[in-house]
A and B are shown apart, each in its own frame.
Chain A
Amino acid sequence: MSGDREDLQELLVELEYGELDATDRAAAQARIDEHPELVRMQAAFRAVRENLSAWDEVEGQPARIAFVTMPGDVRPGSINTFGWMKGAAIAASFVLGILLAAAFASTNLTRTDTGWTLSTGLSRSGVSAPVSQPSATTSVGTPPVGQIPAGQTPVGQTAIGRVAGGRATGGGVTGGQARPFRMSTSQFGIEPMLVEVPGDRELQLRILVRQMVAAAEQRHQQQTDSLLTDLYQTFDTQRTSDLSVVFDELGLLRSSTGLELQRTNQVIDFLVTRIGSDIEAQVPEQRDD
């Protein structure tokens, strides 16, 4: 019997757990009945199994869970746990870039009695730096937002505008125009959320609340998109206006300098002519002497 002991053990467990058909079951039982050792094994097996059935108590209950979809959910199988982190990092750097760009776009170059002063959006509270010697009084700066002509087309996109637009996931620049920057859950690979639901009624409530929150987030996202688009346009317009004013001012400076030089030359010529004629007038008198 020891030779096929493992076979007998397998047969015994199959028999005890009812995984033999009727014919095999009868044959197996008959074979067991022939050997007292097998009968003893079967009895021991049944005793242990009976004892095991006493452990029917399971402490606690499973947490009622359910998957709740979010707008822009993707199908199962492509979860990207850290996708949202990458998206958040891109969004954060994008917003930071916009803030810096807005600060520097508000640069004012002012020419006063005390000299040239340069003030940026970062030092708008009053700190300014003299940059050159005093001269006439002319103001060169960015017009207030309200004074920018509506519908003014930017001459060209700024460097920051291009970078920010170009890095927008899926959005960015198309045909030289910035589109609203969009962030949706699907772009970050966010899967439906797994939430605990203690009861069916509470599940429905939670799903409802979740949908309301998702709708609110979507509205907020749209508002953010709109604001960012406005910011792009304002930034480009301001910068273009600044550049044109600076160029105009430089042209004025150049022309005024030329006029002053011309006048000075005329004065010098006049003086030279006058002195020359005076000298010529004095020479005959000296001859007479």
Chain B
Amino acid sequence: MVRASGTSMAAAPTAPSDEQLVARSVGGDVGAFNELVVRWEGPLYKFVYRYLGDPEEARDICQEAFLRAYSNLSRFRSEAKFSSWLYQIALNQCRSQFRRKQSRPTVALDDDESQHQLGLVQDSAEAPDREAMGRQRSKVLRAAIAELPETQREVIILKQYHGLKFREIAEVLGTPESTVKSRLYHGFESLAKSLGHLKTEGLEI
């Protein structure tokens, strides 16, 4: 998986590192923090979107995460990576939001068309085009990941889609590396079952 774009920017020879920008931000340079925002808003948005599955919520949580990061920048420990810290802030908000949503269940029209609608697509006389099939695959995968326990889902999203090292994920989650690896493996086991079930229904995935 390709590493998050923020890291590739950070690796550019002329660009200052995240930690340098953080130091400048703490010194009162708002522009430095804006550079961090530009660098990390994309990866963070994707992470939150994959976690919650709602673009509006993802935008709100991203903004809130940056605001919290800025207001607590003086508490940031320099031995940790800024990106890990940022993911940690966003993750905490995602968890809260996810639990709020669970406590107030709503019927999302988009979710209704997950697995069952796939059957309808297969039954239709007109074959779906490649783009439509891609969207359906994404929906199925999104639904399968959403069904995972929270701990496994977090690890899979951070590892598979954001390319964080196991050490970094452990830092974000505050758990040992071995736990992270174990959660990832068991999450894959669960996904193998759910995706295999879909395959028997005709989904070519």
Binding site for B on A (CB under 8 A): 6, 9-10, 12-14, 17, 19, 44-45, 47-49, 51-69, 73, 75-79, 191-192, 194, 196
Most B-side CB within 10 Å, residue of A53, A191, A192: A192
* B49 contacts A59, C-beta separation under 8 Å: yes
The contact of B67 among A17, A78, A194, by CB within 8 Å, is A194
CA of A160 to CA of B191 in the docked complex: distance in angstroms?
73
Query: Contact check: which of A12, A48, A191 meets B71 at CB < 8 Å?
Result: A191
Leading 4 A-B pairs by shortest Cβ distance: A77-B74, A60-B55, A62-B45, A79-B71
Q: Name the interface size band of chain B.
A: 35 or more
* Identity of the chain A residue whose Cβ is nearest the Cβ of B48 in the assembled complex: A62
Beta-carbon nearest neighbor of A81 in chain B: B71
Tell me if B67 and A47 are in contact (CB < 8 A).
no
Residues from chain A with a CB closer than 8 A to the CB of B74 are 75-78
Contact B59–A62 (Cβ < 8 Å): yes
From known contacts A65-B37, A75-B27, infer whether A60 and B185 are also in contact, taking CB-CB under 8 Å. no
Binds A, one of B12-20, B92-100, B114-122, B176-184: B176-184
Which residues, 43 to 61 on B, are CB-close (under 8 Å) to A?
44-46, 49-50, 55-56, 58-59
In the bound complex, residues from chain A placing their C-beta under 8 Å from that of B44 are 62
Chain B residues near A194: list those with CB within 8 A.
Answer: 63, 66-67, 70
Contacts of B26 in A (CB 8 A): 75-77
Q: Considering the complex, give the chain B residue whose CB is closest to the CB of A67.
A: B30
Chain A residue nearest in CB terms to B44: A62
B129 CB → nearest A CB, Å: 15
Contact check, B159 vs A75: say whether CB atoms are below 8 A apart: no
- Are A60 and B49 neighbours in the complex by a CB distance under 8 Å? yes
Contact assessment for A54 and B55 in the assembled complex, using a CB-CB cutoff below 8 Å = no
Interface residues in B160-187 (C-beta closer than 8 Å to A): 160-161, 165-166, 178, 181-182, 184-185
Q: Tell me if A10 and B182 are in contact (CB < 8 A).
A: yes
List 23 interface pairs A-B (beta carbons < 8 Å), by A numbering. A6-B178, A6-B182, A13-B166, A13-B184, A45-B185, A51-B191, A52-B160, A53-B1, A54-B138, A55-B50, A55-B141, A55-B145, A55-B161, A60-B55, A60-B56, A65-B37, A65-B63, A67-B37, A69-B30, A76-B26, A76-B74, A77-B73, A196-B63
Q: Decide: A52 and B191 in contact? CB cutoff 8 A.
A: yes
Residue from B50, B63, B135, B156 within 8 A of A63 (CB atoms) = B63
Q: Which residues of chain A have C-beta atoms less than 8 A from B45's C-beta?
A: 58, 60-62
Residue of B nearest to A195 (CB): B63
B41 touches A64 (CB 8 A): yes
Q: Are A62 and B71 in contact (CB under 8 A)?
A: no
B35 to chain A, nearest CB (A): 10
Q: Whose C-beta in chain B lies nearest to the C-beta of A192?
A: B30
Which chain B residues border A53 with CB–CB below 8 Å?
1, 160
Chain A residue nearest in CB terms to B26 = A76
- Verify B75–A77 contact, CB threshold 8 A: yes
Chain B residues with CB under 8 A of A54: 134, 137-138, 141, 205
Closest to A77 in B: B74
